[in-house]
A and B are shown apart, each in its own frame.
Chain A
Amino acid sequence: MSLDSARQAFLAEVAELLQSMEDALLALEDDPTDAESLNAVFRAMHTIKGTGGVFGYDAIVEFTHTVETLMDQVRSGQVPLTRPLIETLFACRDHSAQLVDAIVAADTPDAPLDPELAQAGAVLLARLAPAGAVAAPAPTATPTREMRNLPVASDLWMLTLKFKRDSFRDGIDPLSFLRYLGSLGELVHVAVQLDPEALRIETFDAESCYLQFGIGFRGEVDKPTLAGVFEFADQDCELRILEPDTAQSKYLELLAAVPDDQVGWIGDLLLRIGALTAGELERALQTQSSEGAGETPEARKRRVGEILVEQGSIKPAVVEQAVRTQDAARARRQEEAHFIRVDAQRLGHLIDLIGELVTSSAAIRVLVKRAGIEDMNEVVDGVDYLVSEIRDNALQLRMVQIGESLSRFKRVVRDVSHELGKEIDLSVTGGETELDKTVVEKMIDPLTHLIRNAIDHGIETPEIRLAHGKPAQGTVRINAYHDSGHIVVEIADDGAGLDTARIRAKAESVGLIKPDEVLTHEETLRLIFAPGLSTKEQATNLSGRGVGMDVVRRNIEALRGTVELDSRLGEGTQVTIVLPLTLAIIDGFLVGAGPDQYVIPLAQVAECVEMGAASGVKRHSEHYINLRNEVLPFIRLTELFENADPAHRTGHRESLVVVRFGHHKMGLVVDTLLGELQTVIKPLGKVFERLRGVAGATILGTGDIALILDVAELAAIAEGQRSGSGKRLASA
């Protein structure tokens, strides 16, 4: 891994961590005590600090360290998490992102920081300072391993001290230790015991030490501090420290909060939280190695805990919690190990190759059929099946849940509603709906625009809302779900709704419609997608900067999607976006019309019937058909495309393909039904970018090209041709 790719990985990690920090902060706004979110914020800062340190990005380390320290204080309850503090933490999150971008872009870790950025950081840190006693600048470059001093509340520490015989001879004065200990707190009671050996007069040596102490101690200290008192006498006494119960519960809490990446061997873990001293651990490890050489690491791990309890260094409950923490961390790490980061380009290349494979296997099928080799049919079927499985699995690789991208809008809504003085709640449902990552990326811009529209133009200020008898808080609702091979995303608000009279007036003033033109409610609403029509007189900071709904529509249509809008004045607006799940390969249904062949996305095909009275299809009128007493609009492809084949004119029986799109159904009359095929979508290119009704092209096994039909647009075109006034709308 080169340094450059390591940096890329760092950037990706930072982006992910900052996203989770943002999510956590949003959650904390609702519940400032949510331990998991507090941890997430802490962990994000901590990990960025650590990784930043590895690269030697001192500025990052310094900044994140301060935030981390503060978060630690918040976590332990020393600093209350107030709203202004959350606000500052949001700003810290954004600053971290800028910092990382700036520093990584600068390429050399010690390049001087942009003074503006440095100033912004200093301001933020200053804002953090009154909130809590902010720590001194972090030790740079190396990830910190410091363990915080935990103040331990009252109750008694129980210390047992057993001095060795040679203590006096080594110049140790037991009492001096006790005196020092007394300076740290209160010696509640000291019991002096004599080693029973001392009573055996025949071996008694006046120069030997037979003293043992049992001490009850009260003081605001932690275990390592206490052990430190006796450090000088390390070789000459046996020390056991048993913490008070309050300290124990503190350990349990700390253990639960240890970040995963710091969980190591159980001894290290206990050492880190201060439940164990280095001496105690060493003793236990010695005992262990003398007892069980050659055992598996798994068995050994359990035993360190046991030995520690046995030697009285620690209480069983703490060990149990430590083991639990360890297991949990291990499980989470394993879970992480189930995921691999893959370069999106590689994935794209794989899918392109599979597209070629699909086309090639179709070509083989054609050749085998032409050559009439019966024996090969089975093999070809097998290959076909495998190819379609590979295709589905490869496409699945690129599927992501839409919720990951929608969560960013929480921040947008939050910031913007603050800015505008509006109260807005964003509710997201269907976040688990999956679609191709390439589609997600391309739909973010239009979605952002729609949501900003909803906040800016849709939702009114609390005063106006209350005056209209609505709740002060407005709601923006995003809902996503799958529907016949497409993903549907609805963006709805309960705001002011669109004023059709004003849209109409504006459309007339820019010459989009004639004053005497009669339009339905829906047609008027659809005018808003026409270029150059924005009803908001004043361009605001947020939207109305010349990129209007026409851009939204164009972006969505470039993805072979559709966008519809419904609005009632005073009640709100709902925009519905329908997008294909993938832009790469779909299941298609091949039909023939005139001399040409066309593909209809299979997910949209409801059924196929032969035309003719016998099958229940009756021609109802010129544009409608009666299918088993259901009246359907229909299009004859050869008429719409003006490509009727004279050879088919007489005595030929046409077929009806019933297609659905959104809530609509329609019939397509074709000459022949040619069956299902795997369809690799090839873009038609720039020349055809404004062509409607055709979504792309695919290459058939014969090497010929078939065009992929866009059913919804065909319906719109046909409707436009029938009702004269709609024609302009359809092609606007």
Chain B
Amino acid sequence: MGELVLSNRASAATHSEANDEVTQYLTFAVSDERLAMSIDAVKEIIETPSVTRVPMTPDYIRGVINLRGSVVPVIDLGARLGRGPIVLTKRSCIVLVEVRVGDEAHVLGMLVDEVKNILEIARDDIKPPPEFGSEIRTDFIEAMGRVDDVFVIILSVDHVLSLQELAALRRISQDSASGGVDGES
């Protein structure tokens, strides 16, 4: 099926010995923007299988997939970040992420437009998130990573895929209307 299984941190860790405090990030694209996420949480990347829609849920819940016999929810990262649902193409992928709540591990799928590559970013090149001016909810941004003088948004797994918030099954418009969650500026 052409699945790309990542063995954590196994690949290409040989070069760039300049700074030993190096973290690996998986980068992917959503609505033509390059985003990154710490690779620690990423379990696996798969091609998009058929996704079963779950009725009466907000649009950032894309549905559920059959992952080798278990039912795994899939989050539409485009909708989740307020960029509109992702349109499936040949390049769209699902990034499987493990989210821990207490002692329990939950696997979630994250639908993205395209998976790019794995980046190594030195600690010196990681900057705090801007306080405003981003189109993405500020709590979704963990940090900014500088790569070749361009900043890449590093997403916070805990916030983007917060089970508690996802399980509320509220539509984003309702979120801002009720004022419960940070507005999207």
Contacts and interface: CB of A to CB of B under 8 A. Distances in A.
Nearest to A597: B52
B4 interface: no
Interface string A678-715: 00001111111111111001010001111100000000
A683 B106 contact: no
A643 B167 contact: no
A704 B50 CA distance: 7
On chain A, which size bracket covers the interface? 20 to 34
B179 interface: no
B5 interface: no
A703 B66 contact: yes
B73 A689 contact: no
A705 B63 CA distance: 10
B54 interface: yes
Contact of B55 (A643, A683, A690, A704): A643
Interface string A586-626: 00000000011000000000000000000000000000000
Nearest to B56: A693
A684 B71 contact: yes
Given A356-B69, A685-B71, A686-B106, A697 B56 contact: no
A693 B169 CA distance: 13
B65 interface: yes
A240 to B, nearest CB: 74
B54 A685 contact: no
Interface residues of B, number: 25
Contacts of A347: none
B55 A686 contact: no
Contact of B54 (A686, A699, A707): A707
B52 A687 contact: no
B127 interface: no
Nearest to A684: B71
Contact of B106 (A359, A596, A685, A693): A685
Contact of A699 (B69, B101, B108): B69
B96 interface: no
B108 A687 contact: yes
Interface string B98-131: 0001001010100000000000000000000000
A202 B162 CA distance: 116
A691 B70 contact: no
Contacts of B101: 686
Nearest to A700: B66
B54 A682 contact: no
A683 B69 contact: no
A194 interface: no
A120 B66 CA distance: 57
B157 interface: no
B32 to A, nearest CB: 27
A692 B106 CA distance: 20
A690 B61 CA distance: 13
Q: Which of B54, B104, B163 has the most CB of A within 10 A?
A: B54
A645 to B, nearest CB: 12
A690 B168 contact: yes
A687 B71 contact: no
Given A684-B64, A687-B163, A690-B169, A596 B69 contact: no
Interface string A364-391: 0000000000000000000000000000
A567 B168 CA distance: 32
B57 interface: yes
B56 A686 contact: no
A694 B54 contact: yes
Given A642-B55, A694-B55, A707-B52, A687 B61 contact: yes
A596 B52 contact: yes
Contacts of A705: 52, 64-66, 71
A417 to B, nearest CB: 38
Q: Which of B71, B72, B167 has the most CB of A within 10 A?
A: B71
Given A699-B71, A705-B65, A705-B66, A687 B167 contact: yes
B57 A685 contact: no
A640 interface: yes
Contacts of A686: 101, 104, 106, 163, 167
B166 interface: yes
A703 B55 CA distance: 19
A473 B22 CA distance: 75
B55 A688 contact: no
Interface in A561-581: none
Contacts of B57: 688, 691
Given A705-B64, A705-B66, A688 B73 contact: yes
Interface of A: 356, 359, 595-596, 640-643, 682-694, 697, 699, 703-707, 717
21 contacts: A595-B53, A640-B55, A641-B56, A643-B53, A643-B55, A682-B70, A683-B71, A684-B71, A686-B104, A687-B73, A688-B57, A693-B55, A694-B54, A694-B56, A699-B69, A699-B71, A704-B52, A705-B64, A705-B66, A705-B71, A707-B55
Given A686-B101, A704-B66, 8 more contacts: A359-B69, A642-B55, A685-B106, A687-B61, A687-B166, A688-B169, A694-B55, A706-B52
Top 10 nearest A-B pairs (CB, nearest first) are A641-B55, A705-B52, A687-B73, A682-B71, A697-B71, A687-B166, A686-B163, A699-B66, A705-B66, A705-B64
